[in-house]
Structures are given as structure tokens and as C-alpha cells.
Amino acid sequence: MAGVIDQYVASLRRELDFDPALARRLAGEVEDHLRDAAEADPAWPSADAERRAVERFGVAREIAAEFAADAVDRQARRTWVTLLVTVVVTFIAMRLRAMWLDDGAIPALAPLVDRYAFIAAIAVGAIGGFAFRRSPLAFTICLGGLLASIAAGMVRADLFVQGAPLPVLLAAAGEIALVGLLAFHVVGLSRRLKRTAALRGGGR
């Protein structure tokens, strides 16, 4: 039968399921800590000594919530950096399209969407940045603006794909890759926020 310390370490690993690498690393470290603490107890060896060590360590869910909150901060920083890089690359790609492509044969709306969806994305990003630093909704709206800009850019580039210069195609590929990465980070941020709320609120 598993001892008190083993049960506690197993429960901490379960609570840290949002980051399996951290859960593995911490399990060994916490077990060492708890065994040191139990061995320093006058009642060692006994289940009571292990129980007191576990009580002094704190509630597993609350400790996991601290880690989850830190993970949200890190994920928000990653998302912001990706967003900034995506905005810069999208802007460069947009300028390249304006300089190199002839828009005469494409729907008149495409260059407008290309430009104004990008501006809208920047505006939402700036407002979201100040007002909701970690809001997946602000990131998602911003992502939507960038996607619209990129899609319009594709319409412009596609019609000229035979003659599109290499820099235009490379910049478009960079845009698509970065938007994909940004979407991945936004989903990650949303999941981590939900997990932190669940750990703090007692849900799953």
C-alpha cells in the first residue's frame, strides 16, 4: 500500500498535468523534500511523521495553482513576442506586395482588406495590450485581423503567382507560418488560463 508521501506526490503530479515535464521533475524533488522532513520528525518512522511533513508542505492543488499562474505569464509573454514578430513580418509582406504586384487584374477589395484588416489588427492588439494583457479574446481578434490581411494578400499574390517575385512568396510563407504559431500560442494561453482558474476555483 502506498504511503502518505507517495499518495501526496501522486496527487501533485495529477494536479500538474498541464505540464508533464514539470510534473516529472517536481515529483522527485518534492518526494526528497518530504522524506527529509519526515525523517526530521521525532515520530519517524511512522505514518504520523509522513502526514505532518505533508501538512507542512501545503495543499497540492494550491501549489499547482502557483505553477499554473506562472505558466500563464510565460505563455502570455511568448504570445506577445510572436504577435509582434508576426505584425512586423505581415507589414513587410504587405509593403512588398504593394511595391511588386500589379493590382489591376484583381478584385478591388483585396488590397483594401490587405491594408485595413492589418491596421485593425494592430489597433485591436494595441488596445488589447493595454487593457487585457493576457486576454485570449484580444489575441484572437488580433489574429483574425492578421488572417484577413494575409488572406487578402494571398488573393493579390495568387493571381500573379507565375510572375510573383521570390521575396513576395517568401514573405507570404513567413506570414502563414507565424500566424500558425500565433494561433498555437493563443490556444495554449487559453488552456492555461482555464486550468489556473480551475485549480483556484476547485474545478477540473
Which stretches of the chain bind another protein, using CB under 8 A? 22, 25-26, 28-30, 32-33, 35-37, 56-60, 62-63, 66-67, 70, 74
d(CA 148, CA 35): 57
Distance in Å, CB of 146 to another protein, minimum: 28
Distance in Å, CB of 123 to another protein, minimum: 32
Cβ proximity of 156 and 96 under 8 Å: no
Dihedral sign of CA atoms 15, 18, 20, 22 in order = negative
Distance in Å, CB of 28 to another protein, minimum: 8
Distance in Å, CB of 55 to another protein, minimum: 9
d(CA 131, CA 142): 14
Pick 48 or 70: Cβ nearer another protein: 70
Name the H helices within the chain: 4-15, 20-39, 47-57, 60-100, 109-131, 136-158, 166-201
Pick 22 or 198: Cβ nearer another protein: 22
Distance in Å, CB of 50 to another protein, minimum: 14
Pick 35 or 51: Cβ nearer another protein: 35
Quick one: DSSP state of residue 203? -
Question: Amino acid identity of 147?
Answer: L
Question: Amino acid identity of 32?
Answer: D
Pick 37 or 152: Cβ nearer another protein: 37
Site of grid cell 524533488? 29
Pick 36 or 102: Cβ nearer another protein: 36
